[in-house]
Each structure stands twice: as structure tokens, then as C-alpha cells.
Amino acid sequence: MFETSIAGSLPKPAWLAETNKLWPQWRAEGDELLQAKADATLLWIKAQEDAGLDIVCDGEQSRQHFVHGFLEQVEGIDFEHKVKMGIRDNRYDAMVPQVVSALRLKGRVHAFEAQLARAHTRKKLKFTLPGPMTIVDTVADRFYGSDAEGRVKMAFAFAELLNQEALALQADGVDIIQFDEPAFNVYMKDAADWGVQALERAVQGLSCTTAVHICYGYGIKANTDWKSTLGDEWRQYETVFPALARSSIDQVSLECIHSHVPPDLMKLLAGKDVMVGVIDVASDVIETPEEVADTIGRALEFVPKERLFPCTNCGLAPMARNVAWRKLQALAEGTRLAKERLVTA
Ligand code: MET
């Protein structure tokens, strides 16, 4: 009960990449970079285990960014000529690569870090991939056409590639494959109309546990500014949760602590495991065990205890390393307290 995990990413050590950045530059090249990625992956696996998490991740140490890491292994994408594009409905500008021809995987995307992680932990291993709709929102298109039809076509093309990599990750021994779809909270109607279907294409044939993560973004300024415009009640999840409840996806990861999401929206996920965000990634203040346990307690009003998985609101990538480390501990300690409360209730 209450198995703990994170949304996926952790800060990169200063010897691997620039710190406190969402799109950091690597500090090394070639074999040296590969070795640094491996070392950072092992370091964070150990840290997650030491903190007492039940399900561990590779911390996304081998990818520059949660979307572009996947795209780097896709043929048909021009990384040489990146363009500036407003992403997440123009919330912020990012330098994005361009889709210039038909899409195909160059080969395996995450074999190195998935196999490394699998060889070094006996804990359940979760692996994250970007979702098709979020990829479409983080790349410039010069091939599929920018109308709605083109976007859907491109999403399904990416879904097929994601599916190939997901099947291979399953064969590597990954227990849970999570697709990150923050775009579901931005284009809610599209998410319900075709985003979930594209996700279904990505999980086709998988027998491991499947998950989707939907949040209000990292703790960067563009996101905290956006959140301040969303009012007192954030009901974005209301449009897509019913479609997810009808889907074959096993688990849904959502933002909870310090958010204005009405917790009763979790009721819309009946029949699914719910990864509840009990750690705020937009604040360096470390949650107390009481705060974490209280958040779990609020979620328990709407999620059966055997379906509740305490998690972080989003990735910890742009944070300071020591803050992230203490947040892992807070997640585990608070969850322990929530379990105790349940026994003594
Ligand atoms: N797996 C990604 C992370 O943990 C999710 C990002 S959603 C903005 O960083």
C-alpha cells in the first residue's frame, strides 16, 4: 500500500550538465559524457533507495529534456536548425527541432540507461517517455501540416515510435512505463478527443503497468506565472479524466499539494491507480511529514487506499540537488506517517 515514486526527473549533477536549468548543456562529450550519465543514474538510484522509495526511476539523467531526449533518436527531425516556438499555448518560448520528413526510430532510444538501471536495483523500475500530444506541442512541424488533421497525424506517427521503444523497455525489464502529457492540461478538449487515443496507440501490446502523468508543469517562472492566472479552482483535469477512466491506461499521476485542483476530481478516475502529488516542485521548502500525510489523507476521501500511490507533483529536474534529495526523504517519511495514521485510525 502507498508505494512511493517520483514523476521521473531529478537534477543533474554539476559534472554532468548545467544546473538549475530545464534545457541544460552537457558538460562532457562522447564516452566521457556516457560515463557521466551512467554515474549520475546510479547515484540517483542509490539516493531513491536510501530515501526509502518503493519504485525507482533513472532520474532522466541521460536526456537533456523530457521531450527532446526521445526526439534525438528519431529520423526525420532536424536538430541542426532549431527554431523558437511558443509552447503550451504560447506560455513560454523554447528552441525546438523541426519535423522535416517521415518519422522513424534510428534505433533504441533508452536501452543504455534502462538496462543499467535494471541491473542495479531490485526495486520496481518506472521509466518515463513523453506522450504523443506533448511531443507534438514541443516540436516545430514542416511536414505534417499545422492544421488539426496534421497535428493528429503527427501524434499518431509519434505514438507508433513510442510504442516500439516501450515494448523494448518492457523487454529490458521495466515494470512501469509512464507517458508524460502535461499538454493534456492545456488543450483539454483535444486531449479528450484524440490525445487519449494516441496514448492508447503508444501502449498497444504492453503487459507491464502503464501510466500517464498530467501536471501544471515544472517549478519554473513561466509556469508559476501561468498558474497565478488560473483562478481559485483548477478544473482542467475534469475534461480528460473521464476519457482516461475509459482507457486501458492503469495509472494516472496528478498534481495535488499546493495546487488549486479540487480533490474530488480524483473520483473521476474510479478503477485507476492514482499517483497523487504530495511534493511541491515549485518551492524549495521541504514538506513536513505531517503535510505529506495530510495530503494523502485528503486524497483518501476520493481514492481507495490500495489505489493510492504518493508521488511528486512534477519532475525535480530544474531544482537544486540537495533540495531534491531532501524532498525524496520527505516523500518517504510523510508516506510512513500516513500509513501509521491509517493503522491507528
Ligand atoms: N517525467 C517528466 C519529469 O519528471 C515529467 C515532466 S511533465 C512537465 O520531469
pLDDT tens-place string over residues 249-278: 999 999 999 999 999 999 999 999 999 999
140 part of a folded domain: yes
For residue 8, the ligand 1 atom closest to its alpha carbon is 4
User: 179 C-alpha vs ligand 1 centroid, how far in Å?
Assistant: 9
Indicate the helix (H) or strand (E) that contains 238.
helix 237-245
| pLDDT over 90 (residue 43) | yes
- How far, CA to CA in Å, does 239 sit from each of 20, 184, 190, 282, 336? 33, 9, 10, 24, 33
- 341 phi and psi, to 5 degrees? -60, -40
Q: Within a domain: residue 87?
A: no
Q: Are 263 and 298 in contact (CB under 8 A)?
A: yes
pLDDT exceeds 90 at position 41: yes
Residues forming a β-bridge with 78: 98
Q: Tell me which residue has its CA closest to atom 4 in ligand 1.
A: 315
Least confident of 83-87, 212-216, 277-281, 282-286: 83-87
How buried is residue 332: exposed, middle or buried, by Cβ count under 10 Å (0-12/13-18/19+)? buried
Parent domain of 330: 30-64+108-344
Dist CA 18 CA 20 (whole Å): 7
Q: Residue 145 and residue 335: Cα distance in Å, rounded? A: 47
Distance 99 CA to ligand 1 centre (A): 22
Ligand 1 nearest atom to the CA of residue 6, by list position: 4
How close is the Cα of 27 to the center of ligand 1, in Å?
22
- What's the total number of domains in the chain? 1
CA of 28 to the centre of ligand 1 (A): 24
ipTM of the complex: 0.98
Instruction: For residue 75, tell me if it sits in a domain.
Output: no
Residue of 5, 6, 9, 55 to test ligand 1 pocket, by largest number of atoms within 8 Å of CB: 9
Note whether residue 319 is domain-resident.
Answer: yes
- The mean-pLDDT minimum among 84-93, 125-134, 239-248, 294-303 falls in 84-93
| 19 part of a folded domain | no
Radius of gyration for the chain, computed over Cα atoms and rounded to the nearest angstrom: 19
User: Quick one: pLDDT band at residue 167, thresholds 50, 70, 90?
Assistant: very high
In a domain, 78, yes or no: no
pLDDT interval class at 185 (50, 70, 90): very high
Q: How far, in Å, from the CA of 5 to the mean position of ligand 1? A: 13
CA-nearest residue, atom 3 of ligand 1: 315
* Listed residue (253, 70, 244, 76) closest to 162, CA to CA: 70
Centre a 10 Å sphere on the Cβ of residue 76 and count the other Cβ atoms it contains: 17
Region 91-101: what's the mean pLDDT?
92
Express each pLDDT in 189-235 by its tens digit.
999 999 999 999 999 999 999 999 999 999 888 888 888 899 999 99
Angle between helices 321-344 and 30-51 (to 10 degrees): 30
Q: Could you tell me the pTM of the whole model?
A: 0.97
Q: How many residues does the chain have?
A: 345
Question: pLDDT class for 92, splitting at 50, 70, 90?
Answer: confident
Residue 91 lies in a domain: no
Residue owning grid cell 547515484: 43
| pLDDT given at position 189 | 96
Q: Is residue 139 part of a domain?
A: yes
CATH of the domain at 53: 3.20.20.210
